[in-house]
Amino acid sequence: MLIAGFPAGPWGTNCYVAATGPGSECVVIDPGKDAAVGVAEVVREHRLKPVAVLVTHGHVDHMWCVAPVAGTYDATAWIHPRDRYLLADPMAGMSPDTIAMLGGDHHWAEPDDVKELADGQGLELAGLRFLVDHTPGHTQGSVTFRTPYPDHDEVSELMFSGDLLFAGSIGRTDLPGGDHAAMLRSLATKVLPLADDIVVLPGHGDQTSIGRERATNPFLMELAPRT
């Protein structure tokens, strides 16, 4: 299995490219601002063909380049229906400070081919299997994607967590559409039951694991049942 990840844009958003190996079809996850160049480099280096763009949530730092990447490679974009409106109107999910920082006159539109995600949905894309978990809180339509990781005996799955879970922290809930109570429910019901050996590839920062976060992340520690 081939996983390439790189931080892109002013927010350092992690964009990932996943494939069964070099010379195959691939999936792009969260191509944010300035990510199109990095995607092109990974695709060229490993001789890949993007067939899908998966979006963990509709914030602009995760979807800025969804339409350009999907259009360049004739790929399908996948997003949860509760965040789909942000593809064409990302300003609706931004803070006033972010809107002021961006400035300029930006034009947004959905990719030509958009499909909607559902909780518990299984996707078969580019020879890979993904399980979708709807994890509202950071946004109403936030999701995570989990895929089996057969190349390592000590890792059962990879989890692309978006802005739900980070190393040592969780996503903010003070932006439009954020809901802290929903975030805690998502963590309690969709993260805490997972196996410790799952590697977490977050939307920002370094990779971690469910076991490490269960043991050290103060937000998960507070939610864990008392023994």
Nearest in space to 18 (alpha carbons), one of 203, 158, 163: 158
Residue 226 pLDDT class (50, 70, 90 cuts)? low
- Start-to-end Cα distance in the chain: 38
Fold classification of 2-223 is Metallo-beta-lactamase; Chain A (3.60.15)
Secondary-structure breakdown of the chain: helix, strand, coil percentages, each rounded to the nearest 5: 30, 30, 40
Mean pLDDT across the chain = 92
Domain positions in the chain are: 2-223
Per-residue model confidence as pLDDT tens digits over 115-169: 999 999 999 999 999 999 999 999 999 999 999 998 778 889 999 999 999 999 9
Question: Residue 104: is its pLDDT beyond 70?
Answer: no
**Do 28 and 8 form a contact (C-beta atoms < 8 A)?**
no
- Inter-axis angle of helices 66-73 and 35-46, to 10 degrees? 30
> Model pTM?
0.93
* 62 class by beta-carbon count within 10 Å (0-12 exposed, 13-18 middle, 19+ buried): buried
Tokens at 19, concatenated: 């494939």
The first and second tokens of residue 63, run together, are 């979807």
Contact 77, 113 (CB under 8 A): yes
Asked whether the beta carbons of 177 and 142 are under 8 A apart, the reply is no
36-88 per-position pLDDT tens digit = 999 999 999 999 999 999 999 999 999 999 999 999 999 999 999 999 999 98
